[in-house]
Amino acid sequence: MTNTFKALTLFSVLLLFLHSCKETKPDKLVEEVPKELPSLKGSFANSFYIGAAINEHQIIETDDKGIEVIDREFNTLTPENNMKWMYLQPVAGTFDFEFADKYVALGEKMDMFVVGHTLVWHSQLPDFMHSVKDSAAMAAQIKNHINTVVSRYKGKIHAWDVVNEALNEDGSLRASLFQQVLGDEYVEYAFQLAAEADPEAELIYNDYNLWKPEKRAGVVRLVKRLQAKGIKIDGVGMQAHWSLVGPTLEDIENSIIAYSELGVKVHFTELDVTALPNPWDAEGAEVSQNYEEYEGDETMDPYRGDLPDSVQMQLAKRYQELFKLFLKHEDKIDRVTFWGVNDGGSWLNGWPIKGRTNHPLLFDRDFEPKKAYSEVMALKMKDKVTYNKIPSE
């Protein structure tokens, strides 16, 4: 080996060494720069998770545009339907995990905070559950369902909606199938089983209209009851199926504060803002509400084409106010999840009147960001500059 060659080799090794040092040097600020900016998840990264409920086409990745938006904008997912009891266990003792497995795999692949929805809910139950009339048999069913499902995804599902919609509007416990057969204690039982099956998962009580003072008091009683018995509960899920005019920011704020004072986190689990007429003051998400007589009535479905600019602005303003409030209480809020990815996929096209054209989300039917998206993002413009700053060497 000539001296020149030796010197060159030494020089190359030195260069390689210096290069590898640079690459592995932990540079916190650089690491924290979200690659996908501008995006909701990037912009709100230091405040709370931002997510969406996803449907079957998105879970199996046949909805290309949807998948692109999901990957770019969100860092938490919820399955809109595919993990409900009727799909996971359609026949007693026979489980079908096809879509749930795909959902969890997608969440892992996209590095999401993965939510499980929902373990114990009186709606979307399989037929066999309606013939369980005896308390021991009901307890056995709940135990088998929770153990099987939660254990399967231990460490992979990061938060569970353990009990869904257990309360009436006045805050009392709903006379659901579970409550009627097992009594009020079914709530404790479900939380206890979930905690045993995955001690690390966050356990949430999820319901709609939780801004209402009477229902709020009911949640406070329920959470305190569990806590008094030493049963783990980590969060309250405020579903947030709201409208352009209600609920008031004050009611929402009072609930955020009340739940936080219990020592649990607030999750906004199912956010959407209906833009359509609602002359009956149907609030929340009682799926049994249905106004068939208005199907096809144009006055109830005025925005079948694009949303007029004036309403688009109202929606944007409403979303901005809501996010301003969420930011004010970001220390108490872990997550804000939209109930759907884009307007075309929203359940609000079918409730409480079937076949309407609603516009409740931040992305339109072509998955393009709406004015509401920009107004929400505008709240974070200042921080974005900070995120993008490349640290000086």
Q: Is the dihedral of CA 57, 41, 274, 214 positive or negative?
A: positive
- Which H or E run includes 333? strand 333-338
Q: Given candidates 12, 124, 151, 388, which one binds ligand 9MR under the rule CB under 6 A? A: 124
| 100/86 Cα distance (integer angstroms) | 12
**Shortest distance in whole angstroms from residue 264 CB to ligand 9MR:** 19
> Between residues 165 and 234, which has the closer beta carbon with respect to ligand 9MR?
165
| 282/233 Cα distance (integer angstroms) | 30
Per CB under 6 A, 287 contacts ligand 9MR: yes
Quick one: tokens of 135?
């308390």
**Shortest distance in whole angstroms from residue 286 CB to ligand 9MR:** 8
DSSP for 204-269?
A: EEEES-TTSHHHHHHHHHHHHHHHHTT----EEEE--EEESS-S-HHHHHHHHHHHHTTT-EEEEE
**Shortest distance in whole angstroms from residue 83 CB to ligand 9MR:** 10
Per CB under 6 A, 290 contacts ligand 9MR: no
Q: How many residues bind ligand 9MR (CB under 6 A)?
A: 10
**Shortest distance in whole angstroms from residue 340 CB to ligand 9MR:** 7
* Cα distances (angstroms) measured from residue 115 to each of 38, 39, 164: 24, 21, 13
Cβ atoms < 10 Å from Cβ of 63: 20
Per CB under 6 A, 211 contacts ligand 9MR: no
**Shortest distance in whole angstroms from residue 311 CB to ligand 9MR:** 22
Per CB under 6 A, 239 contacts ligand 9MR: yes
> Between residues 87 and 347, which has the closer beta carbon with respect to ligand 9MR?
347
Contact track, ligand 9MR, 155-174, x by CB under 6 A:
---------x----------
Which of the following is catalytic: 165, 202, 283, 375? 165
108 catalytic per annotation: no
Residue 141 near residue 132 (C-beta atoms within 8 A) = yes
Per CB under 6 A, 337 contacts ligand 9MR: no
- Written as one letter, the residue type at 95 is F
Give the closest residue to 294 by CA, choosing from 354, 358, 360: 354
Cβ atoms < 10 Å from Cβ of 256: 22
Contact track, ligand 9MR, 247-276, x by CB under 6 A:
-----------------------x------
> Between residues 63 and 375, which has the closer beta carbon with respect to ligand 9MR?
63
Residue 40 near residue 51 (C-beta atoms within 8 A) = no
**Shortest distance in whole angstroms from residue 277 CB to ligand 9MR:** 19
> Between residues 12 and 124, which has the closer beta carbon with respect to ligand 9MR?
124
Residue 143: φ, ψ to 5°: -60, -45
- Which H or E run includes 108? helix 98-109
> Between residues 192 and 346, which has the closer beta carbon with respect to ligand 9MR?
346
**Shortest distance in whole angstroms from residue 270 CB to ligand 9MR:** 5
SS3 of 75, please? coil
* Cα distances (angstroms) measured from residue 68 to each of 154, 321, 372, 391: 27, 27, 19, 30
Q: Given candidates 33, 34, 37, 81, which one binds ligand 9MR under the rule CB under 6 A? A: 81
Which of the following is catalytic: 73, 270, 283, 375? 270
| 208/362 Cα distance (integer angstroms) | 20
165 catalytic per annotation: yes
> Between residues 9 and 124, which has the closer beta carbon with respect to ligand 9MR?
124
Catalytic residues: 165, 270
Footprint on this chain of ligand 9MR (rule: CB under 6 A): 80-81, 123-124, 164, 239, 270, 285, 287, 347
